[in-house]
Structure 1
């Protein structure tokens, strides 16, 4: 079973194009809707929600995008997971908070350097950094699912003592402007000692290139 964790805001809708593609191919797949805009809920509650969906299922491939990278290892410490795939994801250290991650990894400087090299604005905005390769009709449909991430989760530590003993693949969008490819490669190498695979698309590759992403996930299966 494929289980998908969304990024900031927690909308399961983000994964809907990949989920529907995998289901059409005969795979079991589900995206978890998280209470990302709830100031009374944070990383522990996100972990509970994902663990509840997994339950006692076996053969689980857990896929996390962006800020979902903080929830994913906490889930792996709770329930059996056969494979973890991080897609344009934040890779935390034990006890690191999402708020600390940015400066600890140098993410803001990497984003600005990539923008200067690529000739697009260094000032963050959604069209430039998240939506630049997403089809207009998908952008329009997504407006109903947008919600801001509450502050609480940014101050909560990743509740693991060490990275879980689960096979982990790191997959980066070749056109990701928010977490540039070379930045993701460096962080994955430094923190997990692993290589980074590429997939077409930007930070929201599941919306812009769902078929390519689904193909890659299926190829990861044993």
Structure 2
């Protein structure tokens, strides 16, 4: 191999190192961008751009269309966006992809909607509650849907304490609104399911991903709030196979 060829490979490698991706992150119920703060910091430390969108989750007059508007505005005219959605954010994400170009969609412990389905219908249509109860019985933890058991069980105490000021309710309006898509967007989609998720158990997420998207869910460590409990391994997964 000539020096020129070696120099070309070196330049190509430097260009690869300099390449950055833009991550736009959609939170779940309540809409607090703070949920993603540990992931945002980790992505930026690795040289990527990261924007967590704050949604008007507590606003009784704002629902899925307004959430979609907020995310579309955050994306702007970027064409290389990696869109990441958690939990209820899975309903907003495909609506965004139907409006603006998105390079990659990653669903993290997310609800995967059918076209026209509402979040309120999703629970019964997917059988999420029987799956949750069965996992609780098998795992030996309580079935009452309390915050500590189902959301904070693996989140560091100091992180959970800091998050108390960011908690806000999710207004009912969004749960009655349909996912306004005619079909799942053509956007390349990945599903990341946390192995310790007690709200959406990992086997349940695998089934929904296969049934609704025809893809296999990938696993990450952590519970439903994996971005707070295990941000580094979650980012490891997010940056795999980037467009």
Q: TM bucket by the smaller chain?
A: over 0.9
From 146, 159, 162, the counterpart of 2:180: 159
Q: Deviations over 1:65-123 (max 9, x none)?
A: 00000000000001000000000000000000000000000001100000000000011
2:92 match: 71
Report the count of equivalent residues: 222
2:212 counterpart residue number: 191
Structure 2 residues not aligned, in runs of 5+: 1-21
SS at match of 1:36: coil
What residue in structure 1 maps to residue 195 of structure 2?
174
1:85 maps onto 2:139 in alignment: no
Give me the whole-angstrom Cα distance separating, in 2, the residues matched to 1:21 and 1:195.
26
Indicate the structure (1 or 2) with the bigger Cα radius of gyration.
Answer: 2
Task: Give, in whole Å, the separation in 2 of the partners of 1:220 and 1:9.
Answer: 30
SS of equivalent residue, structure 1 residue 89: coil
Distance 2:153 2:128 in 1: 19
| Structure 1: runs of 5+ lacking an equivalent | none
Query: Of 194, 197, 201, which residue of structure 1 is paired with 2:222?
Result: 201
**Aligned-partner SS, 2:239:** helix
Q: Give the Cα–Cα distance (whole angstroms) in 2 for the partners of residues 72 and 182 of structure 1.
A: 22
Residue number among 57, 60, 64 corresponding to 1:39 in the alignment: 60
Give the Cα–Cα distance (whole angstroms) in 1 for the partners of residues 197 and 177 of structure 2: 26
1:100-115 maps to which residues of 2 (within 5 A)?
100-115=121-136
SS at match of 1:190: helix
Q: Distance in 2 between matches of 1:156 and 1:129?
A: 25
Distance across 2 between alignment mates of 1:130 and 1:136: 12
Q: What's 1:17 paired with?
A: 38
Which TM-score applies when normalising by structure 1?
0.99
Residues in 2 aligned to 1:168 and 1:30: alpha-carbon distance in whole angstroms: 19
Per-residue deviation at 1:220?
2.9
Aligned partner of residue 39 in structure 2, secondary structure: helix
Separation of aligned partners in 2, 1:25 and 1:195: 27
Does 2:24 match 1:3?
A: yes
